[in-house]
Amino acid sequence: MCSPVYIQLKENLLAAIARGEYQPGDRLPSQRALCKQYGVSHMTVRRVINELLLQRVVYSVTGKGLYVAEPKHPAEVNSLTGFVNHMARLGYIPSTRVLEAKQIHAPFLVARALEIEVDAPIIYLRRLRIANDQPMAVAACYVPRQLCPGLLAHDFAKESLFDIFSTQYGLQPTSSISTIEARLADEEEAELLDLRLPAALLYKEQITFAQNRQPIELSRSVIRGDQYHL
């Protein structure tokens, strides 16, 4: 209720675009019009527009107007949207099979990544990721239990982990760091992913952070050698 005006304005515009009120290619109201409409000064509007320009949400033509850009470049979106949205964006029909979902004690490396105590209770989730009926990846997630009590009550085959985070627990993923390596598949992975040995896999380890830079999830995924966009 007390966030700066420009953030509210920005969220208003983003929401309007997300709702489809402004379609890609549409012209937005002029900057002067936005000033009157929201009762703010030109500079404040400019600040918002500037950020939207940087994020490639809109583009501008001098002397003409502001236009809504095409849906974001894959480069920007990449991994913060989660598997389901990522696959959907690429035109695949994503689905998920839950392999394991339980509470465990944090091993050392996991605890360090999540910045919590060793042996602290965490939620462990292992899922098979499927696109168009073809297994794509095996993803293991580790989430501090204190951040999301009752998480295990959800059906992870149907709900996206990131959706649950934001709707149920107010945790908005805002940034992440990852490392990627290449690995040979072991027998279990080969069976799950429907591969013949020997096979090469991408191994991705990713830590996701919320607004306040608090780590909310560590994920370790093995992904089929198929192409992966960054």
Partner DNA sequence: GAGTGGTCTAGACCACTGG
Partner DNA sequence: CAGTGGTCTAGACCACTCC
> Which residues contact its own copies by CB under 8 A?
43, 54, 75, 177-184, 198-202, 223-230
The partner in contact with residue 120, picked from its own copies, DNA, none with C-beta cut-offs of 5 to 8 angstroms by kind, is none
Pick one of 12, 26, 46, 81: the residue that binds DNA (CB under 7 A).
Answer: 46
Nearer to its own copies, 96 or 221 (CB): 221
Q: CB of 114: closest distance to its own copies in angstroms?
A: 18
The one of DNA, its own copies, none whose footprint includes residue 134, by CB under 5 to 8 A per kind, is none
Q: Which residue has the tokens 């996206």?
A: 160
- Run of H or E including 196: none
Residues 16-35 that bind DNA (CB under 7 A): 28, 30-33
User: Which two three-digit tokens encode residue 60?
Assistant: 């501008």
Task: Determine if 54 is a binding residue for DNA (CB under 7 A).
Answer: no
Shortest gap between Cβ of 59 and its own copies (angstroms)?
A: 13
- Across-strand partners of 215? 209
Helix (H) or strand (E) holding 123: strand 121-131
Instruction: Give the C-alpha separation, 31 to 36, whole Å.
Output: 9
Tell me the HSE value of 60 on the side-chain side, using a 13 A CA sphere.
13
Cβ distance 210 to 173 under 8 Å?
A: yes
Question: Does residue 63 interact with DNA by CB under 7 A?
Answer: yes
**C-alpha dihedral sign at 68, 71, 75, 81:** positive
Query: Which residues contact DNA (rule: CB under 7 A)?
Result: 4-7, 28, 30-33, 39-44, 46-47, 49-50, 53, 60-66
